[in-house]
């Protein structure tokens, strides 16, 4: 593709990301606050494509990418079952308020159900208040706090 969608009323399509989407994926991850080059994105997409428990979907309008969602399914020792975790969800700023994020969430939930996963989680930075309102409005509830320690040694 190589071009992000602008605001549009065209038909929304959600599909698995491919290596050719690397530039768009990099731009969207950058917009989400995670620096990423095209080559970095290509490597990440390749890794997802080779792991059946990882999913990276892009949303597009009229062939132009406008959002992405990544999901992984993992075993939870505390729950004794698999759970799904959304690790990234972003819609291009100029494509907001069109239902794209909700459709990406619905697709994540459908993937989780097909995998017979009963729990889906998403982590959102505490300063992303609009994202928190979005998730709450989509039926998600607040859960455990998340702690981080960078291991730069």
Does 49 map to a domain?
A: yes
What is the structure's pLDDT at 96?
82
Contact assessment for residue 77 and residue 57, using Cβ atoms and an 8 Å cutoff: no
Q: What does pLDDT average to over the chain?
A: 88
In percent, how much of the chain has pLDDT > 70?
Answer: 92
- Whether residue 146 lies inside any domain: the answer is no
Query: With 90 as the cut, is the pLDDT of residue 7 above it?
Result: no
The CATH number that applies at residue 54 is 3.40.630.30
The answer on pLDDT for 1 being more than 70 is: no
pLDDT single digits (tens) 62-115: 999 999 999 999 999 998 999 999 999 999 988 888 889 999 999 999 999 999
Look at residues 118, 120, 145, 146 and name the one whose alpha carbon lies nearest to residue 135: 120
Number of domains in the chain: 1
- pLDDT at position 5 is 54
Task: Give per-residue burial for 67-100: e unless 16+ CB within 10 Å, then b.
Answer: bbbbbebeeeeeeeebbbbbebbbbbeebeebeb
Question: What's the pLDDT at 61?
Answer: 93
Which residue range forms the structural domain that includes residue 78?
Answer: 12-137
Question: Which is it for strands 64-76 and 12-16: parallel, antiparallel or unpaired?
Answer: unpaired
**Is residue 3 situated within a structural domain?**
no
Contact, 112 vs 120, CB < 8 A?
yes
């Amino acid at each position: 593709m190589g071009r992000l969608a602008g605001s549009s009323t065209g038909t929304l399509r959600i599909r698995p990301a491919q290596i050719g989407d690397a530039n768009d994926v990099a731009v969207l991850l950058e917009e989400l606050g995670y620096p990423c080059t095209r080559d970095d994105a290509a490597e990440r997409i390749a890794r997802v494509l080779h792991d059946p428990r990882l999913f990276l979907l892009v949303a597009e309008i009229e062939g132009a990418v406008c959002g992405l969602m990544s999901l992984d399914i993992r075993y939870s020792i505390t729950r004794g079952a698999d759970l799904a975790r959304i690790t990234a969800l972003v819609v291009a700023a100029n494509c907001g308020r069109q239902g794209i994020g909700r459709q990406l969430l619905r697709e994540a939930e459908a993937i989780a159900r097909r995998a017979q996963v009963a729990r889906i989680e998403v982590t959102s930075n505490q300063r992303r208040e609009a994202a928190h309102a979005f998730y709450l409005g989509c039926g998600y509830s607040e859960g455990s706090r998340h702690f981080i320690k960078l291991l730069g040694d």
